[in-house]
Amino acid sequence: KKTFVLAAIMWLTIFLIPFLKYPANPPTVGDADTVVLRQILYLLFIAISGFSAVGFFVLYKKLQNKKKGFAFIGYAVFITAVFFIMPPSPDEVTAPMDLVNGFRTMSVVAVSTFWVAEAIILGALWQKYKTKLDESSFKT
């Protein structure tokens, strides 16, 4: 269960939120001269979202039970501000929107499948090795 929660948080913070600001486009969309700028903006947004989620998680752990919700609110306010502060994608989408929307939908499906598979695999591995560690109990 914990691996699914962790995977969902990671999917949200390092995929979905950056994807909403800088959605995936087919390879033919965008100016070749701005590809580096677009990559920097996207990776910067991923880093800001991911590291701020970790920071607000640390804050969540330090807060008293009744105030833990402030960490979620703080992250939401912070990432919303970053969302509007970060510049938009420099390229206009000139491809047919059916093609672009299909590409974006398939991107979401593929990345979501990855995160679900990661949660299943890591959860299974965690259970397997946790059981082995519990059985050995480090007796010396």
What per-residue confidence (pLDDT) applies to 129?
82
**Higher model confidence: residue 29 or residue 59?**
59
As a whole number of angstroms, the distance between CA 55 and CA 53 comes to 5
What per-residue confidence (pLDDT) applies to 31?
84
* Integer CA distances (angstroms), 18 to 2, 21, 41, 69, 127, in order: 23, 5, 10, 23, 31
As a whole number of angstroms, the distance between CA 133 and CA 129 comes to 6
What confidence category does residue 133 fall into, taking pLDDT thresholds of 50, 70 and 90? Answer: low
**Higher model confidence: residue 137 or residue 24?**
24
Question: Helix 2-11 to helix 97-136 angle, to the nearest 10 degrees?
Answer: 150
**Higher model confidence: residue 96 or residue 28?**
96
Query: Which structure tokens are listed for 99?
Result: 């093609």
List the domain boundaries for the chain.
2-136
Question: Helix 35-62 to helix 69-85 angle, to the nearest 10 degrees?
Answer: 160
What per-residue confidence (pLDDT) applies to 138?
57
